[in-house]
A and B are shown apart, each in its own frame.
Chain A
Amino acid sequence: MKEEGNLENRPSNTAFTQQRLPAWQPMLSAGVVIPGFLVIGLAFIGIGVGLLITSRSIQVLELDYTGTETNSPCNKCTTLPIQNNCVCKLNFTIDTLFKGPVFFYYSLTNYFQSQRKYGASLDYNQLSGDLTYFKSPASDCDPYRYANGKPIVPCGSLANSMFNDTFKLYQIVNGKENLVPFDGKGIAWWTDYNIKYRNPDYSPLENAFNDTEKPVFWSKPAYKLDTSDSSNNGFVNQDFLVWMRRAALPNFRKLYRRITEGDYKDGLPVGNYSLEISYNYPVKSFDGTKKATFSNVSWMGGQNEFLGIAYLAIGSMCVVMSVVMLIVYAKFRFPEDD
């Protein structure tokens, strides 16, 4: 006979092993969810209204300068064979004050920066300033790895296809063209400029690029990208960095300059303007368009009404649902749901 308590195999009688842990058992029934729906609905409507107002307050001006239409001033640049220094001018008028700070973007459509092999076609080690990769770039860079027997720096399709249109904005005051100053500093991510992309520790920078070739499509080597500012050259050139951050979607815009200085600090005043474009980048091959975009920004970024509308719609739906739930609750409630 077994002694009491000598039951070796007896399972331990704890709440866990007996699956009796105290538990919260949410009951998904109409009565319970009414307040939830109502609160979420109202909150969403509030957010939606806020978003919509913010989005509406943002001004956007888009100028298509692809030049496919024959009456477009830039049409002349598309017909020519690829060449440098085709300049076209776009005139436009601003009716109300374009509040500052104004951001100036270039937009491309139908451009697949997200293409996998295109995105992979670079060498991060090279771009972080490692000189060994100057001599032998990664194989990912093919077919823009070597040119004329010399390694290409920066190698790869992504760098090679860098956007090279340049813009100048003039305000036409009494027939005279006033240059609107562009601010090209800090348009790229801080981390890109300071950590991810590094120039080799050479002074002058040019020497580091000895025995290398500039990318095939480029008109000037990397160390000469910005002639006015020596610190804006090489891999940490702001335009280069902006380009290298690949756009997620085929229709995208990229920040080109900001208008933050001088008379235009508070925005672009009413008046006639002229945008001088040096038209270099071909878009015919991908049936794309090029646009110049002026926009001011808010806390939610650029203009986009979608989120505001979505929040409003879902919020109202939740409110409606809570009414429906109320009806359902009245009709079908459990007798014990008191």
Chain B
Amino acid sequence: MTWRSPLALMRDAILSQKAREKELRSLVSNLPFEGLGKSKQPNRFFKSNAIKTNKYTPLFFIPMNLYEQFHRLANIYFVGLAILNFIPVVNAFQPEVALIPICVIMFLTALKDGWEDFRRYQSDKKLNNTPCLIYSRKEKRFMERRWKDVRVGDFVKVVSNETVPADLLLLHTSDPNNVCHIETANLDGETNLKQRKAISGLCTSSNVFEPESFNWTVVCEKPNNNLNHFKCFVEKPDREKTGAGIESLLLRGCTVRNTEHSVGFVVYAGHETKSMLNNNGPRYKRSKLERRLNVDVFFCVLLLFIMCLIGSLGHYLWLKGLSDVPPFLVSDSKGHLDSPGLSSFYMFFTMIILLQILIPISLYVSVELVKIGQIFFIVTDVDLYDEETDSRVQCRSLNITEDLGQIEYIFSDKTGTLTENKMVFRRCSIMGTEFAHKENANRLALLEETTESEENVIFSQPSPSSQASWYLEDEDFNPVDTHHHGSRRRSKMAVNAQSGMAFSSPLETQVIPDEKLLQQISRSERSSSRNSDPYMDFFLALAICNTVVVSMATTQRPRVRSSSPSHQTYNSLESFSSLVKRWNIFDTPKRNSSPIEDSAGDDANGVQPCSSDPVTLSARPAAASEDLCYEAESPDEAALVYAAKTYGFTLLARTPDSVTVRVPSGEELVFEVLDTLAFDSNRKRMSVLVRHPITREYVLYTKGADYAIMELLGTPYAEHLSGQQKKIATDTQYHLDCYAKDGLRTLCITKKIVSGREYQSWLVDRKRALAAIEGREELMMDSAVQLETQLTLLGATGIEDRLQESVPDTITALREAGIKVWVLTGDKPETALNIGYACRLLEEEDLVINMSCKNKVTCISILDCTLEEVRRFHADPRNVDTTQKISLMIDGDTLAIALSPDLQDRFLDLAKRCRSVLCCRVTPLQKSRVVKLVRDKLKVMTLAVGDGANDVNMIQAADVGIGISGQEGMQAVMASDFAISRFKHLKKLLLVHGHWCYTRLANMIIYFFYKNAAYVNLLFWYQFYCGFSGTAMIDYWLMIFFNLFFTSTPPIMFGIMDKDVSAEMLMGVPDLYRTGQGSGEYNFLTFWISMLDAFYQSLVCFFVPYLAYQGSDVDIFTFGTPLNTSSLFIILLHLGIEIKSWTVVHWIIMLGSVALYFIVTLAYSAICVTCNPPSNPYWILQNQMADPMFYLICIISTVVALLPRYTFYVLKNSVAPSPLIQAKHLDRMKPSVREMWMKEWRSLRGGMEVKESRLSTPPSPTLETSVDFYPGFGDAASFVGDDLSLNVLTDQKPVDT
């Protein structure tokens, strides 16, 4: 490299900064500049692909790490004190010694940081040196290079199963359709294949791509972290622009599958790639406990200040009290004595140094260590491990474990959180006729039972014909002994084994067709108007209108898991498939001629790259269709495609430009896809515009939420049906409502025939929108809305989304734990209500207030009236404790009004009087607004749980965000603090781990404050006997060791391992969770009580030896030794009183601490003859240990100091035991007896409620329009048998004793 002037370097730096900041970037190929100097490179301003995530360099590690650490206020405080100690007039100890604690703490932190950073460095190095293929002009071929050599503007070739090294604009692939399949599991965890399309307009006829001929300019936006958006256009030399989006971008970190090779142009490299911009590392949240802790640290500072003031004042009075200069008053070298005022001013600072450990220096470090330990135990919990996905619970935020124990409100998503998000086609309505698919329903019930009966004998009377049992699966399957646990689960696993792959379990893929509908189809098949028959259209729409990718089982990607169903379920499946075969007798298909080659003027659509020959496709053996594997982004789509397949409309292939469908007649139709209007949450629908191969019509198939579709309906389907159009819509709407009441997800399917002229004019707008960079989303949406009008309703589908296992049980338990559960869903009110009953969010006897209004005025009046009713209901003395009997149901529009600033207080007032709240049809933004409102206004701890991208806002808004790693990708998980795989895990996570973490940490912190206060006060009391001169009666080294070694590990162990009540009790009696809610165990009172106790204990610990040695010839350190020793015993035994269960670890650490104290002190007293002058502990402890008085003093001061606390605990536990103590009592009993008690405990609460609800009269529904009763609503509610709640307790673990 040639030398360049610093000026040029600076100019370059400024230029590159400017180039990077620009909103748009123009990139050209590097190849013409190959071999030229760096200054000649056109893309030199952009980052290279080498990544560096390590923060430090070896050279600057120390200053940089120090800088990082000094961001902590506490560290600055302690360093400040240490520096203060170097000022001669105020120093209390040897200055160097004062630095030790802070140095040790900072050294440990630096060690931790350094180690983490080194690991990052190593992984970076490995990644940077991964080989990849870059085109070289000199060699005229792709050369093997390293990832770090990739630059913006290079051409990179990626072969199958290789990872993409940088963000590539796809230019060419080996696929004839110029598509490339990628898997983004590394990025977002989604395992389904996604299609990426090479940028159009470049396709050359030859199979080989010539990078050197690439002479376009790529203009793309500034790098951002949105994985689903990319805006870019390519400018050809002739100024023609072609737009490209995320569908042409291969992201760094993705894996290429099913595509032999593909070539891309590097647009972003290294840290500017989307995956790196998304990589933010763990997030730091401040937990409620820590906020409270900071307040108490402040109190400690105040206390310290007061103590120092007392010391300084005392020194002043002491000096004033001396009539002359006594021999023990030391003047400076010139024999000059400071005035009492000045020396007491200095004394103030000396006191700060002396008493500094009142502010617990190691508290922050200890809390961090404790949290690491707690996270370890959460993560290693076998009960929170999901075998199906082989995933543990993930703790993504490292410092809010204790918040899990304080939750008061849970906001839950419905789909994928409460439900499986495994969609099963259940029924459909076509042209106003309902096809109930009864056999299909029976089959589902049957399939459930086969798996059920294997493992669960509790439901010994299955009713095969009832729909009821579908959600009973694993109802009360409490994790019992984990040894059995695994094997029991296995059979169930087999059923769902393939669910890791996209939705291919037999349950979801196979549908028994409805007989009536089959006949209808075969009738249509024969009819003359078969190409415009609504039944045919309906299924064509199901098959076409989606983004499902077809992959053949034979050409699967390598990581595919084999898919043989296990023998347990095999029999039922076999009988089922024979059933299918029986139904699948179609009339002999009439062969149609292959599609006529089109000649319509759509050359504007770019190049037609692929001639997907229908003949070759149809030549495939029919059996091939059985091996088809559908991979969908949303499970609904797959379910619909499978449903269509059942009726003979098999989706065979999908490329960006065409869809191949085999119709029941056996012929394969190739639809040319003109455009896909993708789903978005505003439109709530998606459309596919295709050209019918036979009729040559432009057909738009749209499917979407019923309310989004119904208002877009236009002209009748065909002229002869004109009068019926309205009837169809009404009938379909009626069916939709029925579906929703059954808890099914509904979709409307429509069709529209677009005239050629209309299409051409729309196409112009569309292209403009595509090429736009500014406001592209809006333009795209506008163009979509423009086309989606005047739709013709074909029918509707009902898809079932099964409830996850143990959801009702979990919700019941959470509610018993005093947590209010809100469900926020985008679904219809009826669906939401139904799920609400099914998961026992709502009870049959509940009063459900249904709020739904269109404008603000009615909303206000309804809100006021309801509030008045509810208040009156509560004011009724008979309903004192029945707050929980009312539930609120509100829809998105009403919610928007209720959340307005002037109404939100009233809304909250109403909502907090309700046991549960259901919000339906809410947008993601509303979800987060609700969470924020409740969190900020009610000042409660909130938890949000969800699985999809639409829950991200809510998850981030809540105090604790929980992501469920499920079917909908990882966005929720990425945003979450904790990630679990099943909703039921929430129960143990909160009730057991939350409770433990909170109790442990709260007690540990209280103890820590106590410990420091108790110890420091000893020094303070001594000031009264040394003229407030800042003398310590304990050797300073021993004081440091006392805090750093002798008494530091027990509280940490206590914070990690203490167990107040067993997990079984906490799970069995959720009521115990309430102890942590609100201010919990760590509050103003407990903090000050323990501080007072610390004062008392230090008084005892100081004055017992004082009175015993009064008037004797005891010297300073001889006096300090029993103080130090007995305070060690007091502090450790105090912890011993607090520890609820002693394991072998506890014993080792406690005894080890005592042993360490004696060994270190004895060794130190024996070795240190003149070290650390002027203090000199030589042979002191040895001398003391030979004196019986030493032991007598230690014993009595320890006993007297601990007696009050011990007695208080004993009396409290006996006279007025807290629920936790009662639970602990139960814990000690035999399992059988204990279960009886636990049941009694729960039923005591439940029974009380029932009794009271009988007494009370619910408010009269004066507002008929707004207040609706749902007494025993729907059939779903009646599924909920009483036996469920009773059985919850039957499978408890045996006690460990």
With A9-B392, A128-B1169 known to touch, is A18 a contact of B1142 (CB < 8 Å)? no
> With the chains together, A82 CA to B111 CA distance in Å?
63
Chain B: minimal CB distance from A125 (Å): 6
Q: Are B1169 and A196 in contact (CB under 8 A)?
A: yes
Distance from B245 Cβ to chain A, minimum over Cβ atoms (Å): 36
CB distance from B911 to the nearest CB of A (A): 37
Contact B1174 A248 (CB under 8 A): no
Q: Which residue of B lies closest to A8 (CB)?
A: B390
User: How many A residues, CB 8 Å from partner?
Assistant: 99
Q: Are A251 and B1111 in contact (CB under 8 A)?
A: yes
Interface string of B1217-1230 (1 = CB under 8 A from A): 10000001101110
User: Given A8-B390, A115-B1031: A252 and B1179 within 8 A (CB)?
Assistant: no
Do B1114 and A116 touch (CB < 8 A)?
Answer: no
B:345-392 near A, CB below 8 Å: 350, 377, 379-382, 385, 387, 390-392
Task: Say if the beta carbon of B1027 comes within 8 Å of chain A.
Answer: yes
- CB of A195 within 8 A of CB of B380, answer no
A-B contact pairs, 18 of them (CB 8 A): A2-B561, A17-B380, A21-B1145, A21-B1296, A23-B1059, A25-B1140, A30-B1214, A115-B1027, A123-B1173, A124-B1170, A138-B1173, A140-B1173, A157-B327, A247-B1113, A247-B1114, A248-B1033, A253-B1112, A329-B1214
Task: Tell me if A120 is interfacial: C-beta within 8 Å of chain B.
Answer: yes
The docked-state distance in angstroms from the alpha carbon of A11 to that of B1228 is 28
Query: Is A116 a contact partner of B1029 (Cβ separation < 8 A)?
Result: yes
Chain A residues whose CB sits within 8 angstroms of the CB of B58 once the complex forms: none
Contacts of A25 in B (CB 8 A): 1140-1142, 1224, 1227-1228
- Chain B residues lying within 8 Å of A69, measured Cβ to Cβ, are none
Point out which of B1211, B1214, B1229 has the most chain A C-beta atoms below 10 A from its C-beta. B1214
Of the candidates B321, B332, B1109, the one whose C-beta lies within 8 Å of that of A248 is B1109
Instruction: Say whether A76 faces chain B, with CB atoms less than 8 Å apart.
Output: no
- Best-surrounded residue of A124, A189, A300 (most CB of chain B within 10 A): A124
Q: B333 at the A/B interface (Cβ < 8 Å)?
A: yes
Q: Is A185 part of the binding interface, using a Cβ–Cβ cutoff of 8 Å?
A: no
Stretch at the interface among B699-707, B872-880, B1191-1199: B1191-1199
CB distance from B419 to the nearest CB of A (A): 23
A residues near B1297, Cβ cutoff 8 Å: 22
CB < 8 Å neighbour of B381 from A18, A111, A128, A249: A18
Give Cα A2 to B390, complex, Å: 9
Q: Which of A40, A138, A287, A337 contacts B1199 (CB 8 A)?
A: A40
| A contact residues around B1206 at 8 Å (CB) | 28, 33
Closest to A103 in B: B1113
A196 touching B1170, Cβ below 8 Å: yes
Judging by beta carbons under 8 Å apart, are A11 and B1025 in contact? no
Q: Bits for A288-328, please: 1 = Cβ < 8 Å to B, else 0.
A: 10000000000111101011001100100100010001001
Given A120-B1174, A128-B1169, A143-B335; A301-B1224 close (CB under 8 Å): no
Instruction: Judge if A52 is at the interface, Cβ distance under 8 Å.
Output: no
Chain B: minimal CB distance from A25 (Å):
4
Q: In the complex, how many angstroms separate the beta carbon of A163 from the nearest chain B beta carbon?
A: 10
List A135-161 residues whose CB lies under 8 Å from chain B: 138-140, 142-143, 145, 157, 160-161
Given contacts A11-B380, A25-B1140, A142-B332, 20 further A-B contacts (CB under 8 A): A1-B497, A10-B385, A17-B382, A30-B1210, A47-B1192, A51-B1192, A107-B1111, A112-B328, A115-B329, A118-B329, A125-B1170, A139-B333, A140-B1173, A196-B1176, A250-B1026, A304-B1109, A304-B1111, A307-B1193, A314-B1203, A328-B1214
For B1225, give its contact among A254, A329, A336 (CB under 8 Å). A336
For A121, list chain B residues within 8 Å (CB).
Answer: 330, 1174
Instruction: Check if A7 is an interface residue, CB within 8 A of chain B.
Output: yes
Kindly state the separation between the CA atoms of A10 and B387 in the bound complex, as whole angstroms.
8
B1144 on interface, CB distance cutoff 8 Å:
yes
CB-defined contacts of A80 to chain B, threshold 8 Å: none
Which residues from chain A contact B1183 at a C-beta distance below 8 Å? 189, 191
User: Please, which residues of chain B bring their CB within 8 A of the CB of A27?
Assistant: 1213, 1224-1225, 1228
How many residues of chain B get a CB closer than 8 Å to chain A's CBs?
106
CA distance A279 to B497 in the complex (A): 101
Name the distance in Å between A54's Cβ and chain B's nearest Cβ.
10
Cβ of A195: which chain B residues have Cβ within 8 Å of it?
Answer: 1169, 1178-1179
Query: Given A13-B483, A24-B1141, A307-B1108, is A116 in contact with B1026 using a C-beta cutoff of 8 Å?
Result: yes
B335: A residues at CB distance < 8 A: 143
**Residues 82 to 132 of chain A near chain B (Cβ within 8 Å):** 105, 107, 111-125, 128
Tell whether A333 is near chain B: CB-to-CB under 8 Å: yes
Shortest C-beta distance, B1058 to chain A (Å), equals: 10
| Chain A residues in 8 Å Cβ range of B1145 | 21
Please indicate the chain A residues that have their CB under 8 angstroms from the CB of B563 in the complex: 1
Q: Do the beta carbons of A1 and B562 come within 8 Å of each other?
A: yes
Q: Which 9 A-B pairs have the closest CB atoms?
A: A161-B327, A248-B1119, A285-B324, A286-B326, A114-B1026, A23-B1141, A142-B333, A30-B1214, A1-B497
Contact of A117 among B334, B387, B1029, B1224 (CB under 8 A): B1029
Task: Report yes or no: A249 in contact with B1106, Cβ–Cβ below 8 A.
Answer: yes
Assess whether A26 is interfacial by the CB under 8 Å rule: yes
| Cα of A332 to Cα of B1214 in the assembled complex, Å | 6
Partner of A12, one of B380, B1104, B1178: B380
Instruction: For B1199, give the chain A residue with the smallest CB separation.
Output: A314
Residues of B within 8 A of A284 (CB): 323-324
Within 8 A of A (CB), among B1228-1268: 1228-1229, 1233
Q: Does B1143 contact A (CB under 8 A)?
A: yes
Cβ of A304 and Cβ of B1112 under 8 Å apart?
yes
Q: Are A4 and B322 in contact (CB under 8 A)?
A: no
Q: Which residues of A contact B1169 (CB under 8 A)?
A: 128, 195-196
> Which of A18, A40, A47, A328 has the most chain B CB atoms closer than 10 A to its own CB?
A18
**Any B CB within 8 A of the CB of A79:** no
Q: Which chain A residues border B884 with CB–CB below 8 Å?
A: none
B217 nearest CB across to chain A (Å):
47
Q: Judge whether A70 is part of the interface by a CB distance below 8 angstroms.
A: no
Of the candidates A26, A116, A217, A248, which one forms a contact with B1142 in the assembled complex, judged by CB atoms under 8 Å apart? Answer: A26
A157 adjacent to B330 (CB under 8 Å): yes
Could you tell me if B1179 and A250 are in contact, using CB atoms closer than 8 angstroms? no
Q: CB-CB < 8 A to B1207: which residues of A? A: 321
List, in ascending order, chain B residues with CB within 8 A of A268's CB.
none
Residues of B within 8 A of A311 (CB): 1192, 1196
Query: Is the beta-carbon distance between A189 and B1179 smaller than 8 angstroms?
Result: yes
User: How far does the alpha carbon of A331 sit from the alpha carbon of B546 in the complex, in Å?
Assistant: 73
Chain A residue numbers with a CB within 8 Å of B1059 are: 19, 23
A245 within 8 A of B: yes
The contact of A1 among B392, B561, B1118, B1229, by CB within 8 Å, is B561
B1157-1201 residues at the A interface, CB under 8 angstroms: 1169-1170, 1173-1174, 1176, 1178-1179, 1183, 1187-1189, 1192-1193, 1196, 1199-1200
Q: Given A1-B498, A189-B1183 in contact, is the A124-B1174 Cβ separation under 8 Å?
A: yes
> How long is the Cα–Cα vector from A26 to B1225 in the complex, in angstroms?
10
Q: How far is the CB of A312 from chain B (nearest CB, A)?
A: 11
A246 part of interface (Cβ distance < 8 Å): yes
Question: A9 to chain B: which residues have CB within 8 Å?
Answer: 385, 390-392
B564 contacts the other chain (Cβ, under 8 Å)?
yes
Taken together as a complex, chains A and B put the C-alpha atoms of A218 and B1213 apart, in Å, by 66
Q: Is the CB of B1111 within 8 A of A253?
A: yes
A286 touches B1114 (CB 8 A): no
CB of B490 within 8 Å of the partner chain: yes
* B1063 contacts chain A at the CB level, 8 A cutoff: yes
Contacting pair B1210 A157 (CB below 8 A): no
A144: nearest chain-B partner, CB-CB: B330
In whole angstroms, what is the CA distance A299 to B1227 when docked?
A: 49
Does A29 sit within 8 A of B, measured CB to CB?
yes
Across the interface, do A310 and B1111 meet the contact criterion of CB distance under 8 Å?
no
Inter-subunit contact B1026/A314 (CB<8 Å) = no
- Interface status of A255 (Cβ within 8 A of chain B): yes
Tell me whether A334 is interfacial, beta carbon within 8 Å: yes
Q: How far is the CB of A249 from chain B (nearest CB, A)?
A: 5
